[in-house]
Amino acid sequence: MREELRSQQITLQPHQLALGSSPPIFLATCLLDIVPDSLSDMREELRSQQITVDFPFPEFVLTLGFLLVLIIEHMVLDCSERRSGEATPLLSCGEATPQPADTGEWVVETGVPHLPADFPAHSSFRSFVLFLSLSVHSLFEGLAVGLQDTESKVLQICIAIVAHKSVIAVSLSLLLLQSQVPACWFVALIGTFALMSPLGIAVGIVMMQNPGPSSTMAQCLLEGIAAGTFVYITFLEILPHELNAPKCRLPKVLSMLLGFSVMAALRFLG
């Protein structure tokens, strides 16, 4: 019996391997792509408008996005708990529970109090927030294409966006499947995500016809808020959900390192 349980604990199913490959992709996208781009764009815009303040304004905007998702999520959770009533566990973490009378043994069950095993880390709300932040980022990627004035730059950026967005789309699809999003919503979300970059290109072309400092600053602010939401989802939802699962901890860490290394290499190669 013990051997059977042990074999179950170290067995990874194919869908678990696929889902395990998405957290390092989102981690690398967050730290090596979205956050650096947001901070550099905001600093460049402040410099171009000759605004000098002794205050980390780009980081402040990013934090606003982080806190925005935190507040909205806890408001939603508070409302849902008030409607359904708070579910109090019968036994607290680390309390001993008796086994059936024929064994006479006591087993101590341990866990993480703030993150139980059935914690809905990929609920519909969180999946939607993740989709929203990625869509805003894709919109700004397309915007970068629309603002170019030479064909060579447009082609170069388009190739980079297609390669980058393909990996992100696969990872987003896996997370939406894991959160059990209905099929109609899944198709709608992925379709909308695919259309965000072309929409950004169209907006960029319009902005090239009517340039202005206010529109550029608004773009930087939205990009910073989207980066903050992505930081929240990556570090407080995706990574804890993946790493706190009791099975196959070392393979998950190795998968995390491998996936992050691949994404870092792609980012380094441009």
pLDDT digits (tens, 9 = 90+) for 12-40: 454 454 555 677 887 888 888 889 988 99
Half-sphere exposure of 205 (CA within 13 A, CB side): 6
pLDDT in tens, the chain (270 residues): 444 444 444 444 544 545 556 778 878 888 888 899 889 989 999 999 888 888 999 999 999 989 988 887 788 777 767 766 654 443 444 444 455 544 544 444 433 333 333 344 446 677 777 788 788 877 877 776 776 666 766 776 677 677 667 877 888 888 888 778 888 988 999 999 989 888 988 887 887 777 666 777 887 888 888 888 888 878 887 788 777 777 778 888 888 888 889 888 888 886
Query: Given this model, what pLDDT does residue 106 score?
Result: 43
Count Cβ atoms below 10 Å from residue 225 Cβ, excluding itself.
21
Please state at what angle helix 124-146 crosses helix 213-233, rounded to 10 degrees: 150
Query: Given this model, what pLDDT does residue 71 score?
Result: 86
Q: In this structure, which amino acid lies at residue 217?
A: M
Tell the burial category of 24 from Cβ atoms under 10 Å away from its Cβ (0-12, 13-18, 19+): buried
> Is the CB of residue 10 less than 8 Å from the CB of residue 248?
yes
CA 159, CA 249: separation in Å to the nearest integer? 36
Tell the burial category of 70 from Cβ atoms under 10 Å away from its Cβ (0-12, 13-18, 19+): middle
CA 260, CA 267: separation in Å to the nearest integer? 10
- List pLDDT tens digits, range 132-165: 878 887 787 777 677 666 676 677 667 767 766 7
CA 165, CA 90: separation in Å to the nearest integer? 45
Long-range contacts of residues 41-47, Cβ cutoff 8 Å, at least 24 apart? 41/219, 41/220, 41/223, 42/220, 42/221, 42/223, 42/224, 45/216, 45/217, 45/220
- DSSP strands (E only) in 65-166: 96-98, 106-108
Tell the burial category of 147 from Cβ atoms under 10 Å away from its Cβ (0-12, 13-18, 19+): buried
Query: Given this model, what pLDDT does residue 251 score?
Result: 83
CA 217, CA 139: separation in Å to the nearest integer? 15
Query: Given this model, what pLDDT does residue 63 score?
Result: 94
